[in-house]
């Protein structure tokens, strides 16, 4: 599937088909998925038929199918942008700071090895 060449409705239908295939692959009925995900059977039927649904419905169905982790592949966690990275580069430390010793400044108070 090339989503850029499909309409929104066609994408919704394709997602519904994929959810149905995932459900059938684990031998789960619509009724079982509905109970597992906290949805009505009619909602499961509608989503699988490409008749809409919400993000909450999609998440509930993915959870019920044991596929919630697939969201990381669906929309990966965005990394830092090159512009932000360039801004941070200027703030990196270039050298270590001096350690200030806590020695006594009065030579009379110094302890000498005997």
Burial class (CB in 10 A: 0-12, 13-18, 19+), 39: buried
26: confidence class by pLDDT, cuts 50, 70, 90: very high
Which CATH fold would you assign to the domain 3-68? Answer: 434 Repressor (Amino-terminal Domain) (1.10.260)
Residue extents of the structural domains in the chain: 3-68
Mean pLDDT of 52-81: 89
One DSSP character per residue, 15-51 reads HHHHHHHHHHHTT--HHHHHHHHT--HHHHHHHHTT-
Mean pLDDT calculated for residue range 75-87? 78
User: Could you tell me the pTM of the whole model?
Assistant: 0.67
């Amino acid at each position: 599937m090339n989503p850029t060449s499909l309409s929104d409705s066609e994408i919704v239908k394709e997602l519904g088909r994929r959810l149905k295939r995932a459900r059938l692959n684990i031998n789960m009925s619509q009724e079982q998925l509905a109970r597992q995900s906290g949805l009505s059977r009619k909602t499961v039927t509608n989503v699988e038929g490409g008749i809409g649904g919400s993000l909450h419905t999609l998440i509930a169905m993915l959870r019920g199918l044991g596929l919630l982790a697939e969201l990381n592949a669906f929309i990966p966690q965005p990394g830092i942008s090159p512009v932000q990275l360039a801004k941070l580069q200027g703030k990196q430390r270039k050298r270590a700071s001096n350690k200030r010793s806590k020695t006594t400044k009065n030579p009379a108070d110094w302890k000498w090895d005997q």
